[in-house]
A and B are shown apart, each in its own frame.
Chain A
Amino acid sequence: MNSLPLLSLIVFAPWAGTVVLAFVGRSVSASTNRALALLFSLSTLALALVVLGSFDPHAAGYQLVERHAWIKALNVNYHLGLDGLSLLLVLLTGIVSPLCLLASWRVERCPRAFGMLFLLLQGAALGVFLALDFFHWFIFWEVSLVPAFFLIKIWGGPGATRAAYQFVIYTLAGGACMLLGFAALYAATGTLNFTDLAQLAATGQLGPKLAGLGHFWPQVVFVGVFLGLAVKVPLFPFHTWLPPAYAEAPTGVSMFLTGVMSKMGVYGFLRILWPLFPAQLHAAAPCLLWLALGGVVLGAFAAMKQTDLKRMVAYSSINHLNYCLLALFAVASATKPDAAAAALSGTLLQMFNHGLSAAALFACVGILEARAGGLRGLDDFGGVRTVAPLFAGFCGIAMFSSLGLPGLNGFVGEFLIFRGVFGLAPWAAGVACLGLLATALFLLTFWQRVFHGPVAAGVAAFRDLDRVEFLTLLPFVVLMFLFGVLPQIVISVFNPLVTAWAAHLP
């Protein structure tokens, strides 16, 4: 057992940053506040790399576990642990969060409060990825909504208030369903621990115990938990909160919402729903495949119709996240270890890669928006590549990463998802191809209207990237190339885990 509680440090370092900013921030300058926030945000990456150094991908089960009795009367433990999936998402959070703060460097309105709330949000997300007891997992899950709400409402665009309410209430409603589901689970089993519950499910005791509450309870609980997660991802058609929230949020927060928070839902599917309710998921899979396909195809087609660039990128996020769920549902629908390993690897890779490419795209739209004084319509620009070639290059790379061009990070994940889904449900892979085509169409339309053509009237005075913007985008672009050419770097973190999953398909 490691003497240093590394995982607690990972979770609480950003929150410590919030406290520091609260007490110290008042007396120092705005830029010191920004720097402090960035520093605390970077703690995740630094600690995650330390963890990566000692992480053994081949070891079964959780590592660096911290487990302490918390509320004995309720059998609630403070229980943190990490496997390849958690580590992947902690790494992603570590990479994306500081870049979100860099992208928000120009936020003039109360940067201290912005930094505090952002660090709160970051810590909550990390808590979700590391907690193994539903009790505090759910606290992290719901607490993340509070800073997100204020970040959207206060620093967002003109429609931010409405979007923030919709976002919070929709997610809360989903959360309430999940809470009730877990309340029933607790009533039936007396534990809220994910590992214990998964053990019960694996040995076939969970279903009968739930059925002990009443005949329909296994299904009811499944639906409750499912709804909570489906809203969060979001699975089509529980996604209507997403486009306004992503569009109205300030750039840095949009980046975090899509880069990290959207992964919380997929994480929940993999960590909770699938291990706990394999039979129910299997039964529902044929239906759910259609929902995921709806997100893939209709999401991409809806993106084509958007004239607000942020909404367009938001819809492309729906499309990309539904690929993850498509693969998972395909795995749940049939038992085929080879294809399942590919599909699950693809899902995990896609989570990671989407985090990078979607966040980078939001950063690019934010840069456009800042240049154009808040305009971000598809037709508000033209010829940007002529006046800002470096920016155009970076944005182009992010765009091609998002549409799955080989050589950049997005391709490998999508290829593996398609490979897996084809093996498990070939027709679904065929239908999903439409999403690939539509994605190329709307992203190239975006590129053509904004960057190509004659220089539009308002664009002539645009400057190219400044130093902060350059530093924001450069890590994204470098990582896109790196993980596109050498995906093994990422895959090695989770491949043994995924292999084990595929070998013991429930």
Chain B
Amino acid sequence: MTLSAEKLWFIPALPLAAAAVGALMPRSGRAIAAGAAIAAMLAAFLVSCVALSTALADPAAKLVHNFAWFDLGTSALRLGWLLDPLTAFMCVMVTFVGALIFIFSLGYMKADENFKQFFCFLSLFAAAMLGLLVANSLLLLFICWELVGLASYLLIGFWFHKPSAAAAAKKAFITTRIGDLGLLLGMLWLYNSTGSLLFFDGGAGVLETAALGSLAAQFTAGGLAVSTAIGLLIFCGAVGKSGQFPLHVWLPDAMEGPTPVSALIHAATMVAAGVFLIARVYPLMSADQVLAHVPLHALTVVAFIGAITALMGACIAVAQNDIKRVLAFSTVSQLGYMMLALGVGSWVAAIFHLLTHAFFKALLFLGAGSVIHSAHHEQDIRRLGGLRGPMKVTFATFAIGMMALSGVPFLFSGFWSKEAILHAAHGWEVSQLPFYAALIAVVLTAFYMTRLVAETFFGKARSDAAGHAHESPATMTIPLVILAVCAVLLSLLAWPSPWLQHQLDPSAHSEPDGISLMVLSIVLVALGLGSGWAIYGRKPRVSETSADPLATASPGLIAFLAAKLKFDELYAATFGRLNAASAAFANFLEVWLWGGIVTLLARLGEFTGLVNREADERTLNGGFNSVSEKVRGTGLAYSRAQTGDVHGYLRFIALGFVILVLLVVMGGAK
């Protein structure tokens, strides 16, 4: 069975229809809304599988279907669908993980009165995300990109009666919109330079040779290639969406949303959209690589931002005490890895890590959700503990996710994808700094994940909530088990042969793996796991108030890390103030300058009117009297709005007509 590109819209349309069903249901239509959402997601998964088999039949082909959206001048603005292995793998992942998270939500959101709305928003998200994946136009991608932002906004603020959730939703929308403005400008520039926004269009698309060549051959004021400038602007969008430094600040706050949302949107799929975007426009991002004498290559920036983010996220995660925030910063860090991979030239490694990460990070978040659900919404790991006994399935699956994330060798998919990234970073010719940053992050990742597992599941319960915890219902544990199996099985994508790499990029030749590099990373993982266990596992925390060993050793550093490097404070003191000052300045101009000029003119009119009237009364005393009085009335009304009537102003109009007639007579006389 094959799927033509023309029918690709089925994939996003299915969840979109489910969202519409959910929106039109009354609040009591819980079962129908949830049933429609899950059924649509499973159906979309099946269609995606067909799409994947179609795409893999000829991995090098780009199946496209373009169509006109609306007329624009003599031509039309066209959008399109695109099917290639990248799209197909992403669609399968999103629908599969999505369906599991939808099922998990059945149990997790059971008691919520807005249950129906939750599934409506989830479906809306899935539709937008899938639309983003199948888009063959940067504009269509941007449209869906904004819509996933909307869904994310709605879902972060799902418990909108909580002020913190409402604030977090707004922060996420605004922060990502800052990046999106860069993306918008990049898109406009691209459109202006090439006259198209279609990725592939039989040779006329922006990712095809002709357009890329011309973009790399033009230069901007600073000596940058136009393709570099456009690439960097597009990258701004990815920085915002994928929580990269310096726009990562919204992602930890986004954990205010229900945990399935964190798993689906803020770990597995939406935040990976930035990575997908860069992978999608990779030919454009790398178009400047052929130029030797330019001050900057776009991908160099991508690599450094990714490395900084990977290291920073891992550092901050070490000092967090909220189970979801540890995972959130871990997500920031892992997304940094993906960006790093893109930057150093291996988009295939980035997508591989994106896929494996989606499974094990969704697993970890849902595991955290299971813990939070059974521990009466306790999220502070200092108040948890000892859950290994009562929550066996959750513990076992969470441990698998933790090992996959840490990169425990051979058995777990995370090991292979991380290995691919380290390998690529090691081979980068521009600098080795990102590689070293990634190595340090490897140790830290293993360390904070060990700490998280030790604090949550080992020792003994440190609060009543944790003491009364019990295993979650089957709708929640079954998705955990399936995701855990996937976290292991996905190793097969890379081992024993690099199958995924061949499918995604058939032209790439696979290099032999550096055994020494692999040994090094295994040693580093072991170091992280060992030190984590030595500090947190061997002597578990006794009570929620007992001191953290690291904080005792270095209180200042840990406090600084726990405060997320004070980015929020920094931004509040700079951009926040700048914004408030701009608003105050604009308002000041409104009141004093523009308003002031008008008042001044009114006073002037009043004065003229006065003089006029005096003159009239003493000299002319005739038909113009009323006119000047009205002029005076004008001024008065303007400044104090006390006198005057509309008839007068109508007469003012009449005066105008008189002038007109006079001019006509003059004109006639000529």
Contacts and interface: CB of A to CB of B under 8 A. Distances in A.
Instruction: Report whether chain A binds chain B.
Output: yes
Interface stretch (B38-46, B70-78, B102-110, B525-533): B70-78
Contacts of A187: 663-664, 666-667
Interface residues of A, number: 84
B587 A186 contact: no
22 contacts: A146-B646, A165-B641, A169-B634, A175-B653, A176-B652, A186-B663, A187-B666, A237-B589, A240-B595, A240-B598, A301-B583, A302-B583, A304-B583, A345-B72, A383-B161, A411-B143, A422-B185, A437-B178, A440-B177, A444-B173, A453-B160, A502-B73
Contacts of A407: 143, 146-147
Interface string B165-189: 1110110011001100100110011
A284 to B, nearest CB: 20
Interface string B202-223: 0000000000000000000000
Given A305-B586, A441-B579, A338 B73 contact: yes
Contacts of B74: 341, 499, 503
Contacts of A386: 160-161
Interface string B138-176: 010011101100100000010011110111011001100
B586 A302 contact: yes
A165 B644 contact: yes
A339 B72 CA distance: 10
Interface stretch (A250-258, A260-268, A364-372, A412-420): A412-420
Contacts of B178: 437
Interface string A422-446: 1100100110010011101100110
A499 B75 CA distance: 10
Interface residues of B, number: 67
A177 to B, nearest CB: 10
A53 B185 CA distance: 39
A301 B586 CA distance: 6
B69 to A, nearest CB: 7
Contact of A433 (B170, B185, B579, B656): B185
Contact of B150 (A298, A400, A498): A400
Interface of A: 73-74, 142, 145-146, 149-150, 161-162, 165-166, 168-170, 172, 175-176, 179-180, 182-184, 186-187, 190, 237, 239-240, 243, 297-299, 301-302, 304-306, 337-339, 341-342, 345, 383, 385-386, 400, 405-407, 411-412, 415-416, 418-419, 422-423, 426, 429-430, 433, 436-438, 440-441, 444-445, 448, 451-455, 487-488, 491-492, 495, 498-499, 502-503
B73 A150 contact: no
Given A166-B638, A337-B73, A452-B160, A422 B192 contact: yes
Given A179-B659, A422-B192, A305 B584 contact: yes
Given A187-B666, A190-B667, A411-B143, A146 B650 contact: yes
A183 B192 contact: no
Which secondary structure dominates where chain B touches chain A? helix
Nearest to A429: B188
Given A150-B646, A172-B653, A184-B663, A239 B73 contact: no
A448 B170 contact: yes
B560 interface: no
Interface string B288-299: 000000000000
B428 interface: no
Smallest CB-CB A-B distances: 10 pairs: A341-B73, A162-B641, A452-B166, A301-B586, A406-B143, A305-B587, A422-B188, A304-B583, A488-B70, A302-B586
Contacts of B166: 448, 452-453
B607 interface: no
B587 A302 contact: yes
Given A304-B583, A406-B147, A448 B641 contact: no
A426 B584 CA distance: 28
Contacts of B71: 488, 491-492, 495
B535 interface: no
A433 B641 contact: no
A453 B184 CA distance: 32
Contacts of A495: 70-73
Nearest to A416: B72
Given A176-B652, A419-B188, A487 B170 contact: no
Contacts of B585: 301
Contacts of A145: 649
Contacts of B661: 74
A425 B188 CA distance: 12
